[in-house]
Amino acid sequence: MNATDTIPLVRASLGERELAAVAEVFTSGWPAGQGPQGTGLEAELTRRYAAGGAVAVSNCGAALHLAMLALGVAPGDEVIVADYTFPAPAHAVRYVGATPVTADVRADTGTVDPQAVADLIGPRTVGVIAVDTLGLPADYAQLKAVTDRHGLFLVEDAACAVGATYQGREAGALAPVACLSFHGRKGATSGEGGALIATDPAVARDARMRSSFGIGSIFDQAQIVGLPVPEFTEIGYNFKLSDIAAAILRVQLGRTGELLQRRRAVAARYGELLAGEELLSVPHVPADRTHAWQSYPVTLDAGVDRAKVATDLRAAGIGCGHGAWATHLQPVFATKHTCPVSADLFRRTLAIPMHAELSMDQVERVVRVLRTALRAHAS
């Protein structure tokens, strides 16, 4: 088997245009963060999401951390988090000394179950972090009804969902605060990167200040006449996105339509080819939303040995993974409280290759190998 026979699980679509944008930053002499590229990116994000403000940061984990700080989450508070996800939301709640309370998910979509959220609200609950699971938006109409009724904040973790929609609105604008990821495995990427999008400009301002050690942009200060020395009044962090990464992202965000169209075609073909397969089920996308297809998760029949199927796929040069995590089953978040649907998805989900560079021949080969492996390892 040679390299051309391998089909990776993920592959970033970075090319000549992104390289040219990086070359421009080199010429400009300002590669650090919050310079012209970062400011330009933030303006584009603010427009794209019709937001009160957008802050470019080093990753989505940092955006979630800044969201918790800006929303005033403190030790003793509880924040309800979607259980089935990359467990960044629960990490963010712990960064500020608060307690994440994991809510179970819908079996058909893997997104947080609004009823489970409502059932978990108690006297210490201050807010909810919903997740657009692997690119599929959660039920924001119902979630918003619950959080409004109880005076809670609602944060959208749209890390995987750039380009997805819910009831005609774009993921990233489905809650008053949203966090995006531009990690190399997501639909738009600068290698590492993230953003916080806020309806309230004050939330964005707070996040931007704390993302740069609590003082404003050094680039902006260099433009001021005289020498006003800024003072440190807050403990901040260095969560800035470099202008090198921002330049790459401005190109990537302009390509999301094109890249998503290719992912959609891959998902549609998988859907056709796997429609009759009784040993797995393909993702369900409710009629009121569209998927960003960060991953293509199939749910295997309970009688299939997932690890053996994965071994066969990898032996054939085909990448695969387990999908998301059940947060409550991770040792660091261990709790007595259970989320049975999430636990079941965590055991049975298999992510198969999904990216914008896949050919339809490759998709067909993945399905052939997968079908054979399913038959070989079903009890």
Ligand X SMILES: *Cc1c(COP(=O)(O)O)cnc(C)c1O
Name the site residues for ligand X (rule: CB under 6 A): 59-61, 85-86, 88, 131, 157, 159-160, 181, 183, 194
Nearer to ligand X, 86 or 153 (CB): 86
Query: Least distance to ligand X from the beta carbon of 308, Å?
Result: 26
If the CB atoms of residues 88 and 259 are measured against ligand X, the closer one turns out to be 88
Assess contact for 324 and 110: CB atoms under 8 A. yes
Residue 238 vs 359, nearer CB to ligand X: 238
Neighbours of 174 (CB within 10 A): 28
If the CB atoms of residues 352 and 370 are measured against ligand X, the closer one turns out to be 352
Give the distance, in angstroms, between the CA of residue 309 and the centroid of all CA atoms in the same chain: 26
CA–chain centroid gap for 333, Å, is: 20
Rounded distance, CA 173 to CA 156, Å?
8
Shortest CB 178 distance to ligand X, Å: 11
Task: State in angstroms the smallest separation of the CB of 87 from ligand X.
Answer: 8
List the structure tokens of 319.
């990448």
CB of 60 to ligand X, least distance (A): 3
Q: What span, in angstroms and rounded, lies between the C-alpha atoms of 32 and 217?
A: 10
E-assigned strand segments in 202-356: 280-281, 289-290, 296-300, 325-326, 349-352
* Shortest distance, position 275 Cβ to ligand X, whole Å: 27
Distance between CA atoms of 327 and 133, rounded to whole angstroms? 13
Radius of gyration of the chain (CA): 21
Tell me which residue of 184, 176, 223 sits closest to 201, measured CA to CA: 176
Q: Give the nearest distance from C-beta 166 to ligand X in angstroms.
A: 16
> In Å, what is the CA distance from 68 to each residue of 71, 233, 293?
5, 19, 27
Residue 181 or 211 with smaller CB distance to ligand X:
181
**Amino acid letter for position 207:** A
Q: How far is the CB of 42 from ligand X (least distance, A)?
A: 17
In the complex, the smallest distance separating the C-beta of residue 159 from ligand X, rounded to whole angstroms, is 3
Question: In this complex, which beta carbon is closest to ligand X, that of residue 66 or of residue 279?
Answer: 66
Question: Which are the contacts of 107, defined by CB distance < 8 A and separation ≥ 6?
Answer: 341, 344, 345
Which CB, 22 or 60, lies closer to ligand X?
Answer: 60
CB nearer to ligand X: give 60 or 247.
Answer: 60
Number of H helices, E strands in the chain: 13, 15
